[in-house]
Structure 1
Amino acid sequence: MATEESSNPPAQPPPAPSLPQYPEMIIAAIEALNDKNGSNKSAISKYIESTYSDLPAAHTTLLSHHLNKMKQSGDLALVKNNYMKPDPNAPPKRGRGRPPKPKVPLPPGTVLSPPRPRGRPPKPRDPFAPPAPPKKKAAPSGSGKPRGRPPKKAKVTAAPAPAAASASGAPRGRGRPPKVKPSVAAVGA
């Protein structure tokens, strides 16, 4: 049993306990760089690499992932490709498009009417006009033919006409027949 356990290598060594989480390292790098316009990704990466020695092999991928995650959550603000801590006094960022109208609360006891139906409203009817005769749905159209292209007919194999058959009796192929070259007559003197 002891030999079987020693032959299997460990899956992955655990991360170094001295290394802090990426969001903490990113915030520390931005504070240490202390640029009024913010710090770009390469400056943050260089600072983290110079400060911490035991970084994983996928450091750049992890850094990009955590920067995007922190930007989405609002922990960081991205201005002209530079990351900075958001201003606590700044108004919240508005989304795209026109903002919705503020809804006025209705007084209690108000009954809402159903929403307007889709489509164009019908034309007003003349109250003095005679009632229209009921429509019949029996005839689909005036010509009596069904709509659309008719279905293809099945090929019927009939005896070929004597004029249409070639000399060998085989049916003709598709397309234009080849040009027949006239036989060359001997030119006599």
Structure 2
Amino acid sequence: MATQELNNHHPLPSYPQLIINAIEELNNENGSNKTSISKYIESKYGDLPAAHSTLLSHHLNRMKESGELVFWKNNYMKADPNAPPRRGRGRPPKPKAPLPPGTVVFSTGRPRGRPPKDPNAPPRPPNPNGKPRGRPRKMARPEGGMGGGGGLGAPQLRCLPR
């Protein structure tokens, strides 16, 4: 009898079919998130492979890229063929005016950003007045100078007798 129950076991449907069934059964207005889809599949089909979460993520991404599912606000929903495409965040790009036929497009000049260094350029000669370029290095504070070496960084003033 136990062997008949094992042989009677139905194999799992394919993961895309499991995902579609879960979204249809959950029937949320804004779609279903990955966690709710996973919990539904685990409750309906108890014996899942060890890599269930990896397989689920892989198939959700594949179905999203192929257009079978729409991913919106962290939820997956079935793609509606009559729905207009949803816009992403930010301002939409300006529509470009079409150019008349036969117009040749030239580059707008030099590219943006700093140009790359020329590897064949000769090395720069040293500065003629001997000073290095840029801001001078910060000098260390002298020990035991006018301030006596103590304090919190502010110079100490002493009164001299007249």
**Judging changes above 3 Å, is the alpha-carbon distance between structure 1 residues 82 and 113 closer, same or farther for their aligned structure 2 residues?**
closer
- In structure 1, stretches of 5+ residues that fail to align are 1-15, 120-145, 151-189
Q: 1:145-184 maps to which residues of 2 (within 5 A)?
A: 146-148=125-127
The percentage of aligned residue pairs carrying the same residue is: 57
**Judging changes above 3 Å, is the alpha-carbon distance between structure 1 residues 26 and 101 closer, same or farther for their aligned structure 2 residues?**
same
CA distance in structure 2 between the aligned counterparts of 1:40 and 1:27, rounded to whole angstroms: 12
Q: Is 1:29 aligned with 2:8?
A: no
Specify the alignment match of 1:79 in structure 2.
72
Q: 1:21-170 maps to which residues of 2 (within 5 A)?
A: 21-94=14-87, 98-99=92-93, 101-102=95-96, 104=98, 106-107=100-101, 110=102, 112=104, 114-118=106-110, 146-148=125-127
**Judging changes above 3 Å, is the alpha-carbon distance between structure 1 residues 115 and 21 closer, same or farther for their aligned structure 2 residues?**
same
* Structure 1 residue 35, shift from structure 2 partner: 1.8
**SS of the residue aligned with 2:76?**
strand
Q: Which amino acid aligns with 2:109?
A: P
CA distance in structure 2 between the aligned counterparts of 1:38 and 1:113, rounded to whole angstroms: 46
**Judging changes above 3 Å, is the alpha-carbon distance between structure 1 residues 106 and 25 closer, same or farther for their aligned structure 2 residues?**
same
Q: Deviations along 1:55-108, whole A, 9 cap, x unmatched?
A: 10111221122222322332222333222112322222446664364452533x
Q: What is the TM-score normalised by the length of structure 1? A: 0.45
Number of equivalent positions: 107
Q: Deviations along 1:133-153, whole A, 9 cap, x unmatched?
A: xxxxxxxxxxxxx43488xxx
Larger radius of gyration: 1
Q: What is the TM-score normalised by the length of structure 2? A: 0.51
Superposed CA RMSD = 3.1
